[in-house]
């Protein structure tokens, strides 16, 4: 339950918070793509990952999210990361290798593994920036906007968006109700933490059944209330919350697309920064 606070929306008035949710979502996808692009050689890969990480840090600083939050989020995944590390490092691969006892470790395997772990960290970081700076409801509106073209094939975009927004509104209410039912059953001798498997199953049943029944009754009453207030998904409706694309969103779009273009060029043209920058570094050092 406590883990729900990680990645949760934190209200603040940062530049990132104020961006249109549509551009934020778009940027997330673009940057995710950038993470998976392959570069010239091993050092280049690490340089590019470092660059993306730097971008994430900047975004986090701009959105007032502490680095600490990222670490906490990753801490939850440390087991998975460790598992990935061990499995992948021991995989057979090509190229140079060294031996530890009877275990053969390929350098390439080490790089591949590090790539996987770093990509994971970057993805988690990026997603976290999105979720902490964007209200779930705004994300829903963005998704609805992106799915709008599907209305042509009669895809129920509006209904889905409405369902999601109502579900989001009820999350705190449902959590409260779960808590209440748990307490009521605990008063009847149920132990949700300890006990044999059979007892635990009974315990879960005594929680799930009332929740479901209550959810069904709730939906019926909600549907009645919505109908009584004139709701008709197929009829025309106006909208209160409207997303407004501002100049800053265009700026963000340009930056993101520019970055993607740069990344693609670097990859396709097999650029190697070290090779390119060495002469320049030498010139600068020569001045001293």
Contacting range for another protein; rule: CB under 8 A; set: 49-57, 150-158, 201-209, 246-254:
201-209
- Phi–psi pair at 240, nearest 5 degrees: -85, -55
Q: Quick check: 234 binds another protein (CB under 8 A)?
A: no
DSSP string, 111-155: HHHHHHHHHHHHHHHHHHHHHHHS-HHHHHHHHHHHHGGGGGGT-
Q: Quick check: 279 binds another protein (CB under 8 A)?
A: no
| 99 vs 236 by CB, closer to another protein | 236
Smallest separation (angstroms) from another protein to the CB of 209: 4
Helix or strand or coil: residue 158?
Answer: helix
Residues 6+ away with beta carbon under 8 Å from 36: 119
| 83 vs 216 by CB, closer to another protein | 216
Which x/- pattern over 137-156 shows residues binding another protein (rule: CB under 8 A)?
A: x-------------------
| 184 vs 251 by CB, closer to another protein | 184
Strands (E), 88-242: 97-100, 103-106
Near another protein in 241-260, by CB under 8 A:
241-242
Q: Quick check: 18 binds another protein (CB under 8 A)?
A: no
Residues 10 and 132: beta-carbon distance below 8 Å: yes
Site for another protein (CB under 8 A): which residue of 86, 91, 222, 257? 222
Near another protein in 68-107, by CB under 8 A:
none
Site for another protein (CB under 8 A): which residue of 69, 127, 157, 206? 206
Site for another protein (CB under 8 A): which residue of 8, 18, 151, 180? 180
Residues 241 and 141: beta-carbon distance below 8 Å: yes
Length of the chain: 288
Site for another protein (CB under 8 A): which residue of 37, 114, 123, 181? 181
Residues 6+ away with beta carbon under 8 Å from 129: 16, 56, 59, 60, 63, 65
Greatest extent of the chain over all pairs of C-alpha atoms, in Å: 82
Residue 194 has a CB neighbour count (10 Å cut-off) of 8
Q: Quick check: 191 binds another protein (CB under 8 A)?
A: yes
| 237 vs 270 by CB, closer to another protein | 237
Instruction: Give contact residues for another protein (rule: CB under 8 A).
Output: 5, 137, 165-166, 168-169, 172-173, 176-177, 180-181, 183-191, 205-206, 209-210, 213-214, 218, 221-222, 224-232, 236-242
């Amino acid at each position: 339950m406590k883990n729900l606070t990680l990645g949760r929306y934190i209200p603040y008035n940062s530049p990132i918070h104020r961006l249109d949710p549509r551009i934020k979502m778009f940027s997330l996808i673009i940057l995710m793509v950038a993470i998976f692009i392959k570069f010239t050689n091993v050092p280049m890969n690490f340089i590019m990952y470092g660059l993306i990480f730097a971008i994430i840090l900047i975004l986090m600083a701009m959105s007032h999210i502490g680095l600490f939050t990222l670490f906490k989020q990753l801490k939850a995944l440390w087991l998975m990361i460790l598992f990935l590390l061990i499995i992948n490092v021991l995989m057979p691969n090509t190229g140079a290798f060294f031996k530890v006892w009877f275990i053969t470790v390929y350098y390439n395997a080490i790089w591949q593994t590090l790539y996987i772990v770093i990509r994971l960290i970057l993805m988690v970081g990026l997603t976290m920036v999105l979720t902490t700076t964007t209200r779930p409801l705004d994300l829903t509106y963005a998704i609805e906007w992106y799915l709008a073209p599907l209305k042509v094939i009669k895809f129920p975009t509006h209904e889905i968006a409405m369902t999601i927004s109502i579900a989001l509104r009820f999350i705190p209410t449902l959590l409260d109700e779960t808590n209440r039912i748990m307490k009521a059953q605990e008063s009847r001798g149920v132990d949700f933490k300890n006990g044999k498997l059979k007892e635990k199953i009974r315990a879960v049943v005594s929680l799930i059944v009332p929740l479901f029944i209550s959810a069904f009754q709730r939906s019926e009453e909600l549907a009645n209330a919505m109908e009584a207030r004139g709701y008709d998904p197929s009829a025309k409706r106006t909208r209160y919350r409207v997303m407004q694309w501002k100049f800053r969103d265009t700026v963000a779009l340009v930056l993101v697309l520019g970055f993607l273009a740069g990344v693609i060029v670097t990859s396709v043209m097999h650029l190697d920064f070290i090779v390119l920058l060495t002469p320049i570094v030498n010139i600068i050092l020569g001045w001293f």
